[in-house]
Homo-oligomer: A and B are copies of this chain.
Amino acid sequence: MGSLETTSPSSPLFNPLDLDDFRTQAHKAVDFIADYYASIESRPVLPRVDPGYLRKTLLPPTPPTKPTPLDSILSEIETHIMPGMTHWLSPNFFAYFPATVSTAGFLGEMLSSSFNWLASPAATELESIIMDWLASLLKLPQQFTFSGSGGGFLQGTTSEAILCTLVAARERAIEKSSSVIIQKLVVYVSDQTHSTFAKACKIAGISPSDIRTIPTSADTEFALSPELLKRQMEADVAAGLVPLYLCATVGTTSSNAVDPVGGLADVARDHGVWVHVDAAYAGSACICPEFRQYLDGVERMDSLSLSYLDCFCLWVHNRDSLISALATDPEYLKNRPSESGSVVDYKDWQVGLGRWFQALRLWMVFKMYGVMNLQSHIRSDVGLARMFEGPMRGDRRFEVVVPRWFGLVCFWLRGVGEGVNRRVLEEVNRTGRVYMTHTVVGEST
């Protein structure tokens, strides 16, 4: 697809990038999207379809042989796709985490998907610059930037960030001593750590029985205790095992708990453990000085990941450990600048080989809005949560069950038990006028 044909417009040849078509149809799609945004508040926030609805009634089992006009396609989206959508952009959506669509983000995505940026130095260089920008906003120590021993880049998902650093840690441990084999390696998380960690372990060949899940409780506000971690690590060493990797979390998915990064690092580093901070949810808030404290101690970490505007950012303290674990070097990919070591070659930092130009989206957002507005947007989101929390704390029917750290308020109906709370949530969500999600923290009563 996509080679620009130079034949005349009257040619019967199929031209998938005819310029007149492109212009007309892309403008039409922009209006369709804007109209959707304008209508979003009036739509039920949750889909009201049965599983299998699309296959059962709406789509034929084989693809169409002939072209369909764009107008018909857009109306199929409206009638067939939209009813099966969760409208994250709706002002009535209060589940999971906030949507991250913005005009600037949309334009950045549009520009990046309209070209093939693969193998373009501009893409790599912009990404390394933007990651340094973001590092400076987050006040990360110099080691995490390209002027230090590390650097940042954009992964496909948080899971991939954890997987790649876990593999780097594993290779480092196995290379260090010939007596270390994969079956001896032990990794550490709290019972609040995101489930994606267990998957990354499986993929990297670490058995589920070698994951130490350390319990948390309301006493520590569901944060991982350095003391418990220390005891567990010592027990494992005494049993002849090798502590490998600790995944601490700043802003857990379940309750936004914040692990004490500095204290954990002290314990872990006594055992030569790779320490990763997963700040997928709360890391972006740390661009505001008043939230930056939650990353204190990050200078003693090996890696840090967070999600910013749908981009999954990873910084490492020592880029060489990542590169030596993930580099490959075949003939058809050789080129002079990479061979000379003068440029960053991100293919050696990740699972895949190709990559998208996501940095353009981040750059557009920084440019179009400026740091000032990005900070005020975080503050406004957190302010909304505070506004919701206030009356709830004053109302005896409700209980806010964990501290509100950022934009998440965890509450339930006091004294009626888990079953009633679940049923109320289901009823509320069924109205289509609001969507909230549930979790379980600590012992249910």
Q: Check if A366 is an interface residue, CB within 8 A of chain B.
A: yes
Q: Is the interface of A mostly helix, strand, loop or mixed?
A: helix
In the complex, chain B residues whose CB is within 8 Å of the CB of A365: 1
Q: How many copies does the complex hold?
A: 2
Cβ–Cβ contact B205 & A37, under 8 A: no
In the complex, chain B residues whose CB is within 8 Å of the CB of A373: 14, 16, 67
Q: Check if A100 is an interface residue, CB within 8 A of chain B.
A: yes
Across the interface, A26 reaches (CB within 8 A) one of B80, B107, B134, B163, namely B107
Cβ–Cβ contact A1 & B326, under 8 A: no
The complex places the Cα of A54 from the Cα of B370 at a distance, in Å, of: 20
Across the interface, A30 reaches (CB within 8 A) one of B26, B326, B333, namely B26
The complex places the Cα of A246 from the Cα of B52 at a distance, in Å, of: 35
The complex places the Cα of A143 from the Cα of B121 at a distance, in Å, of: 43
Q: Check if A398 is an interface residue, CB within 8 A of chain B.
A: no
Cβ–Cβ contact B326 & A199, under 8 A: yes
Across the interface, A325 reaches (CB within 8 A) one of B80, B88, B202, B342, namely B202
Stretch at the interface among A219-227, A313-321, A351-359, A389-397: A351-359
Q: Check if A117 is an interface residue, CB within 8 A of chain B.
A: yes
Interface string of A1-40 (1 = CB under 8 A from B): 1111010000001101111011101110111111011101
Cβ–Cβ contact B371 & A65, under 8 A: yes
Cβ–Cβ contact A102 & B41, under 8 A: no
Nearest B residue to A284, CB-CB: B1
Counting chain B CB atoms within 10 Å of each CB, which of A41, A121, A160 scores highest? A121
How far apart are A108's CB and chain B's nearest CB, in angstroms? 9
A55/B110 contact (C-beta < 8 A), A66-B372, A101-B17 known: no
Interface string of A114-154 (1 = CB under 8 A from B): 11111111110110110011101100000000000000000
How far apart are A286's CB and chain B's nearest CB, in angstroms? 14
Nearest B residue to A198, CB-CB: B328
How far apart are A96's CB and chain B's nearest CB, in angstroms? 7
Cβ–Cβ contact B377 & A1, under 8 A: yes
